């Protein structure tokens, strides 16, 4: 990712998440991108009774949704890269996770969680791995290494 000027960076940061992540509401789960660099992105998720997968019984969102928060943050980084190259946002697939650790049972209502992803590698075929964390005020809530695949040709994958 080339060095970008602050005006372009601010323009990207002000974009709605749905322009960076190839999902449609209500499945866009992250709320905003805070910052990004060549191989990392920082996003936030606000938990409220209006959050997708909110459980009134648990007063929040169950921790297993963490993997989707992480995956969508990776997708947002791919979306930022596409915007910088003036290309359409590509479709990506979560292939799996390694060492998923969930340190609390619920993402509690009324809190804003920080989701951070950092690229470990991305090869020319579109296969990549990312180290991901979710924290609340500096306290680690979840972490995992996710394997992903990004493609330009979703028709090839979906028709075979």
Structural domain boundaries enclosing 44: 6-159
For residue 160, is pLDDT > 80?
A: no
pLDDT digits (tens, 9 = 90+) for 134-158: 999 999 999 999 999 988 765 555 5
pLDDT digits (tens, 9 = 90+) for 9-36: 999 999 999 999 988 888 999 999 999 9
Confidence band of 2 (pLDDT split at 50, 70, 90):
low
Q: Say if 57 falls within a structural domain.
A: yes
Instruction: Write the CATH number for 20.
Output: 3.10.129.10
pLDDT digits (tens, 9 = 90+) for 38-55: 999 999 999 999 999 999
Q: Say if 128 falls within a structural domain.
A: yes
Q: Say if 1 falls within a structural domain.
A: no
pTM higher than 0.95, yes or no?
no
Q: What is the pLDDT of residue 152?
A: 73
pLDDT digits (tens, 9 = 90+) for 66-106: 999 999 999 999 999 999 999 999 889 999 998 999 999 99
Give CA angle at 120 (119, 121), nearest 5°. Answer: 90
Number of domains in the chain: 1
């Amino acid at each position: 990712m080339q060095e970008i000027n602050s005006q372009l960076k601010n323009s990207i940061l002000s974009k709605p998440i749905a322009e960076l992540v190839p999902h449609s509401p209500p499945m866009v789960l992250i709320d905003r991108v805070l910052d990004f660099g060549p191989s990392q992105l920082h996003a936030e998720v606000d938990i409220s009774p209006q959050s997708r997968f909110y459980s009134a019984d648990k007063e929040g969102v169950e921790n297993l949704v963490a993997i989707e928060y992480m995956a969508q943050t990776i997708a947002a980084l791919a979306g930022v890269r596409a915007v910088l190259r003036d290309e359409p946002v590509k479709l990506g697939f979560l292939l799996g996770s390694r060492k998923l650790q969930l340190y609390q049972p619920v993402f509690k209502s009324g809190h804003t969680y920080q989701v951070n992803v950092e690229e470990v590698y991305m090869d020319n075929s579109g296969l990549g791995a990312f180290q991901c964390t979710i924290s609340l005020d500096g306290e680690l809530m979840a972490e995992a290494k996710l394997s992903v695949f990004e493609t330009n040709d979703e028709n090839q994958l979906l028709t075979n």
